[in-house]
Amino acid sequence: MAIGLAQKYDIKDVDSLLSQYAVYLKQEKSIFTVVELYKKACKFLHAALVLYKFVKEIPEKLTDPLLLRKIYVLIAILVEEYKANRKITTFDRNDINDLGKILEEEVSLQTIAPHLIDDPWRGAKAYHFFMLAQKHLYQGYMDAAMKTALHLREYEDILNPEDIYSLLALASCANRAFATCSSAFMRLESLENVSHEKKAKYASLAAEIFIKHP
Return the ∠ at Cα 41 (arms to 38 and 43), rounded to 5°.
Answer: 55
pLDDT reported for residue 45: 85
pLDDT reported for residue 88: 53
pLDDT reported for residue 213: 77
Sequence-separated (6 or more) residues with CB below 8 Å from residue 37: 3, 18, 21, 22, 25
d(CA 169, CA 178): 9
d(CA 73, CA 67): 10
pLDDT in tens, the chain (214 residues): 444 434 443 434 444 444 544 444 444 456 778 788 888 888 888 888 888 888 888 777 667 899 899 989 999 999 998 888 876 545 455 554 444 444 444 445 566 667 788 889 999 999 999 999 999 999 999 999 999 999 999 999 999 999 999 999 999 999 999 999 999 999 999 999 888 999 999 999 999 998 887 7
| pTM of this structure | 0.76
| Residue pLDDT, tens place only, 81-125 | 888 887 654 545 555 444 444 444 444 556 666 778 888 999 999
